Structure 1
Amino acid sequence: MSAAEASDGVLAPTRRRQAFRAGLASGRIQRYVGAFTPLSVPLIEQAGFEGVYISGSVLAAERGLPDIGLTTASEVIGRGQEIAGMTSLPAFIDADTGFGEPSNVARTVTGLERAGLAGAHLEDQVNPKRCGHLDGKQVVSTEEMLRRVRAAVVARTDPEFVLCARTDARAVEGFDAALERAKAYADAGADVIFPEALKDLSEFEAFATALDVPILANMTEFGQSELFTTAQLADAGVSMVIYPVTLQRLAMGAIEASLATIAQEGTQAELVPQMQTRARLYEVLRYADYSSFDADIFDFAVPGDH
């Protein structure tokens, strides 16, 4: 931890928001990988991705809960702050429906700004919401969602904070209705549009062509959208792609398989080559930097006995 890093905090969020906006305007698709723990965040940055995503589904699953609107605004803001504080990359978070009425939406946006997030997305589902790739979703009226978007825009104190509007209407009202909603959300001030659960690349292309704001694609596994490559999405006009649950699913799959091995073999010995080493963990956690910081600040000499 350098002295520059220690004194960098106040301006860092705005710079990260500016980087987010610059990336969206760059013409290169922006790849945001879902962090399922703060410890996973440095790995995302070191792998060369443009940003970090915080999924509401992942946050709920971490707490042993289904993604049906059971988490609270304070839990989301707190987790967002933990993850944003682990990286110099923009951190983009799922704010669900904003956790209530327009006044609650405004308070949520204020809290996320103060927590150092670079942006957030709000959706047009009813409260309580559910995972965007499940059946049985319901959406609020366009007018109700516009109130949410406007509340978020008014509450934003840093104009660089990126506000994204997600519509789940494709699976509920059809493609045309979803596109009309997206146009209205963009007109109300949304910086990015997130059309959930589109069926194919032509639908992404239609959104990108019809709107003057960037389009986000959700490449979640086991969902209703095919897992398109970044090249395919970029060719369709998509500006940003998220991989919300990928790392959590990989980790949980590895945990289940490893537990079965330990139960059967009576030892974890054969799993050791698959593990992150102690040395690599310490590298990711920057043990050496903290040790140096401590030595510079807290070291002292023991006085003589006189």
Structure 2
Amino acid sequence: MSSRQKLRQLLARPEILVIPGVYDCLSAKLAEQIGFEVVATSGFGIAASVLGLPDYGFLTATEMLYSVGRITQSVNIPLIADLDTGYGNALNVIRTVKDAVQLGVAGVLLEDQEWPKKCGHFEGKRVIAQAEHVGKIKAAVEARGDSGLVIIARTDARGPLGLDEAIARGRAYIAAGADILFVEAPQSIEELQVIAAAFPDVPLVANIVEGGKTPQLSAAELQNLGFKIVFFPLTALLTVTQVMSTCLRHLKEQGTTANFPDLINFKDFQELVGVPKYLQMEQEFKS
């Protein structure tokens, strides 16, 4: 079964799908080991880890797809790729989506921000015309062919244009062929309720950014509201940053990590990245 078939099977289940954001192969492998059934790349996380820059449209399509492709190869669970705006017009979207299909990606997010885009929970976002993004969604649907790629249409219109415009755009994007709708950064439980009521028969995404604009509800609460997917896009990145900062400060101040409590055991880390398997393979192919 392909990763896209697996994702569609998971979406057909009644319960909400909890999806952590990952930004490299290691974070994806950890998520898989812990038991998550799907992972999603975070453009925010890849920009921070690869470039050391904010999610301000600095990543090129080539850089994003390179990271996504490596992550897809590192795990055996479906991966949803944050592909920003598709990196241009409808023709660029066709190229981007075809590349994603070749890389084995299970689903993609395509948003309606102007390029260069920003993190969905930043101020100062601007969106393209609704009709232009409708064309981009149609182009993505055509480009996926019979691959089964899941297309998630994201609108960032709530910030600059208001919730009513975001809902109107959502209807247009679903009509254009998107499988799932993602209204980014609603700012209250009431707004989440309005979105769910407007799309009773459409799979909906909630995006929980710790410290962001959307209330930090649990997966169960979001399912009760009517949402099908909940992304936690930055949770791993924020956690790693805090732990790494604490560890490095400890090393700087004490000159040792011998008494630092939060390091993973070296043997366990080797298991995670497959050292025993490759040692065995090495022996098998020795002359």
TM-score bracket, shorter-length normalisation: over 0.9
Which of 134, 147, 154 in structure 2 is aligned with 1:166?
154
> Is this contact kept in 1: 2:101–2:147, CA < 8 A?
no
User: Which residue number in structure 2 is paired with residue 6 of structure 1?
Assistant: none
User: Which of these residues, 213, 221, 225, is aligned with residue 232 of structure 1?
Assistant: 221
Q: Is the 8 A contact 1:220 1:244 kept in 2?
A: yes
Distance of 2:111 and 2:25 partners within structure 1:
25
Large movers: runs of 4+ above 6 Å: none
For 1:223, which of 212, 216, 226 is the aligned residue? 212
Aligned residue for 1:267?
256
Instruction: Find 2:30's aligned residue among 6, 22, 43.
Output: 43
Q: Distance in 2 between matches of 1:199 and 1:25?
A: 28
Give the superposition deviation at 1:241: 0.8
* 1:221-247 deviation line (CA, Å, top 9, x unaligned): 121011110010000111001111111
Residue of structure 2 equivalent to 1:175: 163
Does the CA contact (< 8 Å) of 2:207 and 2:233 recur in 1?
A: yes
Give 1:87's aligned residue: 75
- Find 1:291's aligned residue among 259, 262, 279: 279
Q: Give the aligned length.
A: 285
Q: Distance in 1 between matches of 2:77 and 2:226?
A: 23
Q: After superposition, give the CA deviation of every residue in 1:242-288 in whole Å (9 maximum; x if it has no partner).
A: 111111111111111122212221222221x3101110011101222
Map 1:101-250 → 2, pairs under 5 A: 101-211=89-199, 212-250=201-239
Q: Percent identity?
A: 37
| DSSP-derived class of the 1:269 partner | coil
Alpha-carbon separation, structure 2, partners of 1:186 and 1:235? 22
Matched, 1:55 2:77: no
Equivalent AA in structure 1 for residue 41 of structure 2: I
Q: TM-score, normalised by structure 1?
A: 0.90
1:93–1:120 contact (8 Å) kept in structure 2: yes
Matched AA of 1:176: D
Using structure 2 for the length normalisation, give the TM-score: 0.95
Aligned-residue offset at 1:49? 1.4
Counterpart Cα distance in 1 of 2:257 and 2:276: 29
Deviation at 1:54, TM superposition (A): 0.4
Structure 2, unpaired ranges of 5+: none
After the TM superposition, which of the residue ranges 251-260 and 109-118 deviates more from structure 2? 251-260
| Secondary structure of residue in 1 paired with 2:161 | coil
RMSD (CA atoms)? 1.3
- Distance in 2 of aligned mates of 1:179 and 1:214: 14
Distance 1:143 1:87, change over 3 A: same
- What's the offset of the Cα at 1:207? 2.4
Distance in 2 (alpha carbons) for counterparts of 1:223 and 1:176: 21
Q: Are the equivalent residues in 1 in contact too, given 2:158–2:166 (CA < 8 A)? A: yes
